[in-house]
Amino acid sequence: MLNTNIKKVIVLGSGALKIGEAGEFDYSGSQALKALKEEGVYTILINPNIATIQTSEEIADKIYFLPVTAYFVEKVIQKEKPDGILLAFGGQTALNCGVDLFRQGILEKYNLKVVGTPVQSIINTEDREIFSGILHEIDVLTPRSIACTSIEQAREAANTLGYPLIIRAAYTLGGLGSGFCSNETELNKLADNAFSYSGQILVEESIKGWKEVEYEVVRDQFDNCITVCNMENFDPLGIHTGESIVVAPSQTLSNDEYHKLRALSIKIIRKIGVIGECNVQFALDPNSEDYRVIEVNARLSRSSALASKATGYPLAFVAAKLGLGYGLHELKNSVTKETTACFEPALDYCVVKIPRWDLGKFVGVSKNLGSSMKSVGEIMAIGRNFEEAIQKGLRMIGIGMHGFVGNRGDMEIIDIDEELVNPTDRRIFAIAEAFHKGYSVDKIWEITRIDKWFLMRLQNIYLLRSQLIGFDTLENLPADLLQDAKKLGFSDFQIARIVVKSSVSDMNVESLKVRSFRKKHGILPFVKQIDTLAGEYPAQTNYLYLTYNGSEHDVEFQHDSQSIIVLGSGAYRIGSSVEFDWCSVNAVNTIRKEGFRAIMINYNPETVSTDYDNCDRLYFDELSLERVLDICDLEDPKGTVLSMGGQIPNNLAMKLHAMNVPILGTTAEKIDNAEDRNKFSAMLDKLEVDQPRWSQLTTIEEIYKFVDEVGFPVLIRPSYVLSGAAMNVVSNRDQLEHFLALAAHVSKEHPVVVSEFIENAKEIEVDAVAKNGEIVAYALSEHVEFAGVHSGDATIVFPPQKLYVETIRRIKKISKKIAKALEITGPFNIQYLAKDNDIKVIECNLRASRSFPFVSKVLKTNLIEIATKAMLDVPFEKPDKSLFELDYVGVKAPQFSFHRLLNADPVLGVDMASTGEVGCIGENFYEALLKSMLSVGYRIPKKTILISSGPVRGKIELLASARMLQERGFTIYSTGGTHHFFQENGVETEKVYWPDEEDMSPNTLDLIKQRKIEMVINIPKDHTKRELSNGYRIRRNAIDFNIPLITNARVASAFIYAICKMEMDDISIKSWDEYK
Amino acid sequence: MRKVKLVLECGTTFEGKSFGYEKSVTGEVVFYTAMTGYPESLTDPSYTGQILVSTYPMIGNYGVPSDRKENGLHRHFESDKIHITALVVDNYSFGYSHWNAQTSLADWMKSQQIPGIYGIDTRALTKILREKGSMLGKIEFEDEPIEMVDPNLMNLVAKASTNSVETYGEGDKTVVLVDCGVKNNIIRCLIKRGVKVVRVPWDYDFNTLDYDGLFLTNGPGDPTMCDITVGYIRKAISRDKPIMGICLGNQLLGLAAGCKTYKLKYGHRSHNQPVLLARTNRCFITSQNHGYAIDPQSIPEDWETLFYNVNDNTNEGIRHKTKPFFSTQFHPEASSGPVDTEFLFDDFISNIKVPKVR
């Protein structure tokens, strides 16, 4: 039933990864592109996210690294003349762009068919009022809400709806003026407050504490509907589903409830007219079958990616095919390959999703979870029972926890009740602590309203811990009890810690003892398949997980030394994201092309690497030493690849090596030589390679002494952090004292590393591949910002545009020396500082780095493919291309998610804060920069700009920019010092007052709030408290009022130069392959 | 605790732990893949004689609801008692939580003397049943040996059916429902549509009654055991009164029409079976529970396939080409399972209320 009129389509991607829109759209986009390709449809992908799998040659036919906005998409439409467009696979970004294209008449103008759900259906779900109106037409309930303009009206509304209620101030940001009230007194107070923010308030029935349940629904053009998966939130309503622990399938719903909501989902998808996939979120009363529909997403979503991984049902792939006209029954189940895709997966396991937060990376942000999303990644754990899955999951999120119990006292939760009532990212551990303090399931339920079933299951874990703790030695531990512990998901490490208890012994050694003890007793995990039909039909599926709740393996093991295990990157977090997925997938592809079987281990549901289609075997399981050893024992691989998944696999090198696991590429000892600061430093000294002076210190006195030697500023890296950022640059003694007193703890056990910090130095990265210590390919790129901005937050240019030839020559030479000394085989990355041709090494990682996909795609040389071949010891062609021969430039720009993080200071520092990145290619540096900055949400200002240029260096840097803006007729607003400096240097600006000069007008904050400024440039100056707070308020307001903000002087001047030299129309619309 | 094991006809043994009533039992071991609805499934008379294996590992999560009655029928159960012989699960949920739960699954099973065992790799077990077909088995407690007996050699319908004639609901039109082991929801679905239902035993000659529509229900075991019923149905199809059948009712209507039935290797017991309305693109997700099916090759001239299974092409329903007779192998009444095909009851009722001549 294929619609043969569609031969060429545009697919919109989701751009950079950000909070709320992350790697899941690389997965869904890649799946859609694969489906289109299978049907012979020519695909044109627009996505500036260069680190994704979908922006790879073999996935889409043509790729544009351009912003996903109506302007650029229209340009591509003009050029490519496609027949159709797909809007559902690039998250909210693509959806919004699609709606813009529709409203601006562009779709009609170019006669473009929307493949899949019609735009009007999308609009109907996006507008709350239209949406609830439509649902009411089919008697489907949504939360009742009454808009009021007076306190009397509010009281009347309250009487109609009944308490408890939510009061929301209309048209405010970040939930200002909102709250819950359960009686009239509280209502009066809240409403009064809300009216101070807005003339209109919404009085809404409160369904806080209700169960939150989601369904993933699919519909084809014949009106056939299925629900692929339902999922239940562990956390009741009140916490955003992206912030909740989620379980699939639902655990506490009766058949009636399950099918009532399922039938409603289908009724809704039919009414909306979705062709493809949609997600329906319900609130379900825990005391009846009453329900409300909270939200419908008429597109692929994070939940649909999770549902795909949870069930093995490729939602995006199927949705794309349905868009082309197929019926569900005409498609095959891609797991069994025999049965139809028109079915609903039956699970014989349980999955648990847990979000990963990085709130500690942001200054000022509240750790409380609520109705907005703050998490930066997630994991999915699979088990045959809830306990097994959640304990796996709590280890997978990678925050140093070993499961529900058996964690160190670090997580000391002082006020358990407070933590339970007002949950933060640590609530689950507060529950463990509550059990420890003797709280009953009922009491915890009273406080949290988490369904008792979940709490009882958690209590099972706690009770088993209590049994274990009665034993002091492994030898006395009954095998039955050990088996029970493993069935409830206890790791060897947890068991070691609970049984051995000693704080002296090395827990890693002890857990290996547990391992050999249980192997002696034959307590081993079994490998099970995920086959979508719970074993009903035979399936040749390679989608696997391990469990102790079983008695046989579903698969056989070949032991032929032809398989290679690749360790993935785990949960996305700040600093480790889709780029490592690209590396892992490319390693897997190369391994398969070379005739080996590739086995992937990873547990991040947002990734392409966990698509079972991509490898010979996928173990959706932990990247812990224990689990990797389990898998190696079974698979007996030829080798393991640890250099593709970032730091998690890298950290396992020595441990795996010690257990005789074969590691491909650079040896574990050499990895350790690069990772261990002292060893690496000694090696550099021996090679006569310079590095910033540093020392590891254990007393405050030593620190002062060292600082006296090297002088300020210094970079401080404590190993134990009390609060605030883990790393910091301090410029004077006051700051040093302040930082040490507030943020760091110094002792023998917790040394502090202090390094000399070189100002105004360039930072340069080398991404390279070596074989047996010889560099075979490399890419050298340059940061726009001076050193001091984390390399993950830096704007990076490749090939470098402003480096001395001598600098490059020296860096190459040093890189060669290091590669030789570490006998590198495989990928590596070295970061350098350069000042006046003086080169210092900052860091060296013997693994792929964040910038590998970027440089590989700009250079059009797949460094990972070469690296993998080098590690496999198979022949490869040494690239002859030199980076000086490129006639174009690539710029990688960071994406920040500050708008999602209420109160966070949007400022850059030595610790990474960006959640994603884009990479664009241009004819020259400025064009590439402009494209990439537009891709991460900057807009070109036309008339007004606010500059507060910070330290003298910033002022000088921005003077030329200000002059250019002045020549182009801009109104420049500037704060005191900047105004004065510019004036002295002949640039007229309008003086504006600092936020705390409230009586003076014009005040910066007023201008921002009235949106009289199109861009804010605020260069932070780390001096007095007053300036810090003023700067913070300007920056924060710019974010809250959605005004583009730049906080680095060098980036600001480059951006201003670009916009002054170029109009939008000058930006070339060229696909990747057109850059030759 | 007494040791307990599941022994299969093929010789494989699984050791488990007991959570139900402690009694050795024997039956046909079958697996079902639904993820919800154990109170409904356990009370489904079609499971008579069967040791039920749940592929979903965690069972008992939401306890068991009250035995409250509504219109003479249990509100939450599909019949008056548990019909399965025993239940086999991986992970029995000792803790349960639900607003309408009145007791735990274990206590409920104990009160009705039904054994249950847990701690069994039900996926491994399911794979054996899938590969070798449904087979006999027994749950054996230590010191309580028992012989295996094939329940399909017995007339299970006679066991599952009612002894008396009962009436439910009110309405101008009367539906005679031949109870071969009926699920309560079939009766609920009918009376909800405003008809009077007269429930008669499986071997009752309903042709003696004055009725507007005939309903042939689900039930356990081999349809060829119900010669008597088939004979009565044969008489009914010589007349023109609307007929609808479900599950066993589909097979009985088929036999009466002249079709043959056969035993499936391991049957369909799940909530996710796709059936296609023949000659259209309409595909429905259905709830199923059967071990026998109509051989589509044997459907006579004046009858045709109404639905078929998209996965294995087995028959999922037949209808008469001219008369208002149709039946489905799947369960439009669901309970448990998806409710997407409940509209078929509307079709039946409209056949009764507005007689159509095609």
How is residue A898 annotated by DSSP? G
- Asked whether the predicted pLDDT for residue A171 surpasses 90, the reply is no
Q: Do residues A46 and A10 make contact, with C-beta atoms less than 8 angstroms apart?
A: yes
What mean pLDDT do residues A11-24 have? Answer: 94
Least CB-CB distance to A329: which of B35, B40, B283?
B283
Report the C-alpha gap between A545 and A531 in whole angstroms: 11
- In this structure, what token pair is assigned to residue A834? 């350069």
What mean pLDDT do residues A597-622 have? Answer: 97
Q: Do A533 and B336 touch (CB under 8 A)?
A: no
Least CB-CB distance to A255: which of B37, B124, B311?
B37
DSSP notation for B209-277: S--SEEEE---SS-GGG-HHHHHHHHHHHTS-S-EEEETHHHHHHHHHHT--EEEEEEEEEEEEEEEEE
Candidate from A126-135, A141-150, A221-230, B342-351 with smallest mean pLDDT = A126-135
- In this structure, what token pair is assigned to residue B190? 């009918």
User: Is B331 part of the annotated catalytic residue set?
Assistant: yes
**Contact status of A92 with chain B (Cβ, < 8 Å):** no
Q: Do residues B324 and B242 make contact, with C-beta atoms less than 8 angstroms apart?
A: yes
The active-site residue, picked from B40, B78, B140, B333, is B333
**Contact status of A509 with chain B (Cβ, < 8 Å):** no
How is residue A332 annotated by DSSP? B
- Asked whether the predicted pLDDT for residue A410 surpasses 60, the reply is no
User: Looking at residue A908, what is its pLDDT?
Assistant: 83
Q: Do A348 and B57 touch (CB under 8 A)?
A: yes
pLDDT, tens digit, 9 for 90 and up, residues A421-466: 999 999 999 999 999 999 999 999 999 999 999 999 999 999 999 9
Report the C-alpha gap between A317 and A336 in whole angstroms: 15
Q: Do B95 and A460 touch (CB under 8 A)?
A: yes
**Residues of B whose CB is below 8 A from A344:** 271-272, 285, 338
**Contact status of B10 with chain A (Cβ, < 8 Å):** no
- Asked whether the predicted pLDDT for residue B291 surpasses 60, the reply is yes
- Asked whether the predicted pLDDT for residue A1023 surpasses 70, the reply is no
Alpha helices in A829-924, H assignment, sequence order: 852-859, 863-872
Q: Do residues A775 and A768 make contact, with C-beta atoms less than 8 angstroms apart?
A: yes
Higher pLDDT, A445 or A500: A445
Report the C-alpha gap between A637 and A599 in whole angstroms: 9
Q: Do B57 and A386 touch (CB under 8 A)?
A: no
User: Looking at residue A970, what is its pLDDT?
Assistant: 96
CB interface of A with B, residues 382-411, below 8 Å: 384-386
What mean pLDDT do residues A106-110 have? Answer: 97
Q: Do B282 and A224 touch (CB under 8 A)?
A: yes
Q: Tell me the range of A542-556, A894-908, A948-962 where mean pLDDT is highest.
A: A542-556
- Asked whether the predicted pLDDT for residue A173 surpasses 70, the reply is no
- Asked whether the predicted pLDDT for residue A623 surpasses 80, the reply is yes
The active-site residue, picked from B189, B226, B247, B259, is B247
Q: Identify the band that residue A741 occupies on the pLDDT scale cut at 50, 70 and 90.
A: confident
pLDDT, tens digit, 9 for 90 and up, residues B81-102: 999 999 999 999 999 999 999 9
pLDDT, tens digit, 9 for 90 and up, residues A83-94: 999 999 999 999
Q: Do residues A492 and A512 make contact, with C-beta atoms less than 8 angstroms apart?
A: yes
- In this structure, what token pair is assigned to residue B64? 């068991």
Q: Do residues A736 and A707 make contact, with C-beta atoms less than 8 angstroms apart?
A: yes
User: Looking at residue A174, what is its pLDDT?
Assistant: 53
- In this structure, what token pair is assigned to residue A106? 């562009």
Q: Do B55 and A384 touch (CB under 8 A)?
A: no
For chain B, the 3-state helix, strand and coil shares in percent, each to the nearest 5, are 25, 35, 45
What mean pLDDT do residues B107-128 have? Answer: 98
pLDDT, tens digit, 9 for 90 and up, residues A891-930: 999 999 998 888 888 988 788 999 999 999 999 999 999 9
- Asked whether the predicted pLDDT for residue A662 surpasses 90, the reply is yes
- In this structure, what token pair is assigned to residue A329? 């029954």
**Residues of A whose CB is below 8 A from B39:** 254-255
Q: Do A343 and B311 touch (CB under 8 A)?
A: yes
CB interface of A with B, residues 132-161, below 8 Å: none
- Which residue shows structure tokens 């970040």? A174
Q: Identify the band that residue B358 occupies on the pLDDT scale cut at 50, 70 and 90.
A: very low
Q: Identify the band that residue B349 occupies on the pLDDT scale cut at 50, 70 and 90.
A: very high
CB interface of A with B, residues 39-78, below 8 Å: none
**Contact status of B153 with chain A (Cβ, < 8 Å):** no
Closest CA to A392 of A514, A588, A245, A501: A245
| Closest approach of B88 to chain A, Cα-based (Å) | 14
- Asked whether the predicted pLDDT for residue A737 surpasses 70, the reply is yes
Report the C-alpha gap between A694 and A677 in whole angstroms: 10
Q: Which residue does chain A place closest to B124, by CA atoms?
A: A552
- Which residue shows structure tokens 């750790």? A367
Task: Give the dihedral of Cα atoms A475, A478, A484, A490; nearest 10 deg.
Answer: -20
The active-site residue, picked from B76, B83, B268, B331, is B331
- In this structure, what token pair is assigned to residue B302? 């004046």
Amino acid at A960: A
User: Quick check: helix, strand or coil at residue A182?
Assistant: coil
pLDDT, tens digit, 9 for 90 and up, residues A970-985: 999 999 999 999 999 9
**Contact status of A543 with chain B (Cβ, < 8 Å):** no
Q: Do B272 and A329 touch (CB under 8 A)?
A: no
- Asked whether the predicted pLDDT for residue A807 surpasses 60, the reply is yes
Report the C-alpha gap between A703 and A707 in whole angstroms: 6
Least CB-CB distance to A252: which of B39, B61, B91?
B61
Report the mean per-residue pLDDT for chain B: 96
Which H or E run contains A28?
Answer: helix A24-38
Closest CA to A975 of A998, A955, A993: A993
**Contact status of A534 with chain B (Cβ, < 8 Å):** yes
DSSP notation for A450-518: --HHHHHHHHHHHHHHHHHTT--SGGGS-HHHHHHHHHTT--HHHHHHHHH--SSS-HHHHHHHHHHHH
Report the mean per-residue pLDDT for chain A: 93
User: Looking at residue A739, what is its pLDDT?
Assistant: 79
| Spacing of C-alpha A684 from chain mean position | 34
Least CB-CB distance to A346: which of B270, B281, B338?
B270
What mean pLDDT do residues A781-800 have? Answer: 94
Kindly provide the ipTM of the predicted complex, given to two decimals: 0.97
Residues facing residue A716 across a β-bridge: A728, A754
Q: Do residues A293 and A264 make contact, with C-beta atoms less than 8 angstroms apart?
A: yes
- Asked whether the predicted pLDDT for residue A595 surpasses 90, the reply is yes
Q: Do residues A730 and A713 make contact, with C-beta atoms less than 8 angstroms apart?
A: yes
Q: Identify the band that residue A128 occupies on the pLDDT scale cut at 50, 70 and 90.
A: confident
User: Is B70 part of the annotated catalytic residue set?
Assistant: no
Does A538 sit behind a cis peptide bond, omega within 30 degrees of 0 on the bond before it? Answer: no
Q: In what order do the strands lie in the sheet with A639-641?
A: A526-529, A543-547, A617-620, A597-602, A563-567, A639-641
Maximum distance among all Cα pairs of chain A, rounded to whole angstroms = 84
Q: Do B274 and A225 touch (CB under 8 A)?
A: no
User: Is B131 part of the annotated catalytic residue set?
Assistant: no
User: Looking at residue A544, what is its pLDDT?
Assistant: 98
